């Protein structure tokens, strides 16, 4: 293999995959090569959360995550939240609350909110603000995002009770 390149194998959205990467690539570039564009590199510095993906169940900034680190990992992108054509409660809540304008930041926020609600089923507004402080929305839909988190928490509670 050419110098500075490597083959990696990992689980992508539930399926085993293999691909050749350049050693300097980051995780966003790997997802793009698989036709997944939900994670996008925006600030490129770990600050905005637009490039969020889950690696072994934990949220990371794809822009700062070396592609080689994906080898052997379980990787989930926002595209994997939908099940049999149905959106996740968090995705539905974002739509119902109108928690976006241009939508550029939305995949990152949605993945972070999934993580937050996995950790804490009914977060307070302070906990929501704190947890999402590393995600930026240039359209400033923050009030609607907070409402969407609260609505998503209720939806999850309702579906757990059902």
Which lies closer to another protein via its Cβ, residue 58 or residue 83? 58
Indicate which single residue of 30, 67, 80, 100 sits in contact with ligand FES (rule: CB under 6 A): 100
Check binding of 106 to another protein (CB under 8 A). Answer: no
Determine the interface stretch with ligand FAD among 14-22, 40-48, 67-75, 136-144 (rule: CB under 6 A).
40-48
User: In the set 101, 127, 150, 157, which binds ligand FES (CB under 6 A)?
Assistant: 101
DSSP assignments along 85-97, one per residue: TBPPHHHHHHHHH
Which two three-digit tokens encode residue 84? 């049999």
* Residue choice 46, 68, 104, 129 for contact with ligand FAD (CB under 6 A): 46
Minimum Å gap between C-beta 138 and ligand FAD is 17
What backbone phi and psi angles, to 5 degrees, belong to 57? 80, 0
Contact residues toward ligand FES (CB under 6 A) are 41-44, 46-51, 61, 63, 100-105, 137-139, 141
């Amino acid at each position: 293999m050419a110098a500075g390149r490597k083959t990696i194998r990992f689980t992508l959205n539930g399926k085993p995959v293999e691909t050749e990467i350049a050693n300097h690539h980051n995780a966003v570039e790997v997802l793009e090569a698989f036709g997944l564009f939900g994670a996008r590199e925006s600030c490129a510095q770990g600050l905005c959360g637009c490039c969020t993906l889950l690696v072994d169940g934990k949220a990371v900034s794809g822009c700062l995550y070396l592609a080689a680190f994906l080898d052997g990992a379980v990787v989930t992108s926002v595209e994997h939240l939908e099940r049999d054509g149905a959106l996740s409660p968090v995705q539905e809540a974002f739509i119902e609350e109108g928690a976006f304008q241009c939508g550029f930041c939305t995949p990152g926020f949605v993945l972070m909110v999934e993580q937050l609600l996995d950790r804490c089923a009914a977060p307070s507004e302070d906990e929501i603000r704190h947890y999402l402080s590393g995600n930026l929305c240039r359209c400033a839909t923050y009030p609607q995002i907070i409402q969407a988190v609260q609505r998503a928490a209720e939806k999850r509670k309702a579906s757990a009770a059902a």
